Amino acid sequence: MDLIAEARAVRENAHAPYSGFKVGAAVLSDSGTVHRGCNVENAAYPEGTCAEAGAIAAMIAAGDTRLQAVAVIADSPRPVPPCGGCRQKLAEFGGPDVKVTLATTGGLVEDTTIGALLPGAFTQSDMDGA
C-alpha cells in the first residue's frame, strides 16, 4: 500500500483558490482500508478543512475508527507537518506510535510518529474523574 501515492492523487482534488497550497492526506485504518482527504478552502478562512481532517472524516464515515498509518503531501520545499488541530485529531484516532509519513511533491520524505508530532496529547484519560 503506497499511502504517499494515495495522498498525491487526492491532492489534485484540493480546493485551494485563495492560497494555491494544495495538500493531500491518506490514512490507513485498522480494517486495511485507505481513506483520503484534501484541503478545502473557504472565503471565510477559518471555515476551511485540512486534508488530514478530511481523511479522518472519510474514515469515520466509512465506519472505521482507528489509524494504522498516515501520509501527507504538499508542494513545498520541505515536508509539511499537520497543523496543531490535525495533530490532535490524529492522536484521537491513532496511538503515539502510529507512523506519519510527510512528503513533498518533489520527492522529499520524512517519517515520524503521532507521538513525536504531539507529545503530551490530550486524551480521554485526561477526562477520567471529571
**Which domain range does residue 14 map to?**
3-127
- The domain that holds 30 is classified in CATH as 3.40.140.10
Residue 92 known to be catalytic = no
Q: Out of 6, 12, 41, 52, which one is annotated catalytic?
A: 52
CA dihedral 66, 53, 32, 5 (to 10 degrees): -150
Residues 6+ apart with CB under 8 A from 63: none
Cβ proximity of 37 and 57 under 8 Å: yes
Query: Could you give the C-alpha distances from 21 to 66, 78, 79, 89, in angstroms and in order?
Result: 28, 13, 13, 21
pLDDT tens across 75-125, in order? 999 999 999 999 999 999 999 999 999 999 999 999 999 999 999 999 888
Which pTM value belongs to this model?
0.94
Domain count, the chain: 1
